[in-house]
Amino acid sequence: MINRAKALQCLDEHLKTDHLLKHSYAVEVVMRALAKKVEPEKEEEWAMAGLLHDLDADLIDYKNGDNHLHGPKTVEILKEVALGNEEIYHAICAHNEATGTKIESKMDRAIYAADPITGFITAITLVYPDKKISSVKVKSITKRMKEIRFAAGADRKAMASIEKLGIAFPEFAELSLNAMQGIAEELGL
C-alpha cells in the first residue's frame, strides 16, 4: 500500500536522528522529481522508497557488523504495517550494497544515485557564506563532483551512474537542487 501519511508516522516511530530524518525528506523529493522524468506512473512509489529507505538506520547495530541488515530490517517493519510493495522493498535493499541485492529496476538505479547526492548538496550548501541552499548554483555541484577530496564520503560513482537512466549528471544536479530548494525550510538549509 502507498500512503504517505502512514509512511511519515512510521518514520516518526522508528527514525529519531534529526539529520537522517532530513536526509529522508531530501531523498523523497529527489526521487519524486526523478520519477516525473523516468516513470511518472510510479511517482508515489519512487517517493515512498526515497522517504523510507533509511527507516531502520537507528536500529541497526553497525558496530556489531550488522550493516547487511540495513534495508532488510526496514522491509520487515514495512511488511508488518502493510506499507509498500515488492518493487519498493527491492529498491530499499538495493540502495545498500552490503545486502548483496543487485540493482535491477529503474527505481533501484534512481535511489542508488539519489541517496548520495542529497548529502553532497547539503555539504556544498554549508560551504556557501550564507549556508543557504537558495544560493547554491548547479555549477558548484558539477565542479565539486571533480574535487574528490571534497565531501569524500559522497559516492561519485553512484551519483554519476544516473546516466544509466538517460539523465546527464548536470541535469540530475539541477533537478536534485531544485527539489531540495523546494523544501529548504524542512531541511533547515
Decide if residue 56 touches Fe ion (CB under 5 A): no
Phi, psi (deg, nearest 5) at residue 7 = -65, -40
Nearer to Fe ion, 56 or 115 (CB): 115
How far apart are the C-alpha atoms of 159 and 161, rounded to whole Å?
5
Least separation in angstroms between CB 129 and Fe ion? 28
Decide if residue 54 touches Fe ion (CB under 5 A): yes
**What's the number of CA atoms in the CB half-sphere (13 Å) around residue 129?**
0
Nearer to Fe ion, 22 or 42 (CB): 22
Least separation in angstroms between CB 60 and Fe ion? 12
Cβ 175 vs Cβ 37: under 8 Å: yes
Cβ 98 vs Cβ 116: under 8 Å: no
Q: Count the residues of the shown chain that bind Fe ion, applying the rule CB under 5 A.
A: 2
Q: Determine the residue type at 41.
A: E
91-120 binders of Fe ion (CB under 5 A)? 115
Least separation in angstroms between CB 95 and Fe ion? 7
Nearer to Fe ion, 38 or 111 (CB): 111
DSSP 182: T
How far apart are the C-alpha atoms of 1 and 4, rounded to whole Å?
10
CB-neighbour burial class of residue 74 (10 A; exposed 0-12, middle 13-18, buried 19+)? buried
Nearer to Fe ion, 56 or 129 (CB): 56
Nearer to Fe ion, 118 or 181 (CB): 118
Angle at 4 between CA 115 and CA 120, to 5 degrees: 15
**Stretch of 53-61, 68-76, 131-139, 172-180 contacting Fe ion, by CB under 5 A:** 53-61
> For the window 115-154, what string marks contact with Fe ion as x by the rule CB under 5 A?
x---------------------------------------
Residues near Fe ion, by CB under 5 A: 54, 115
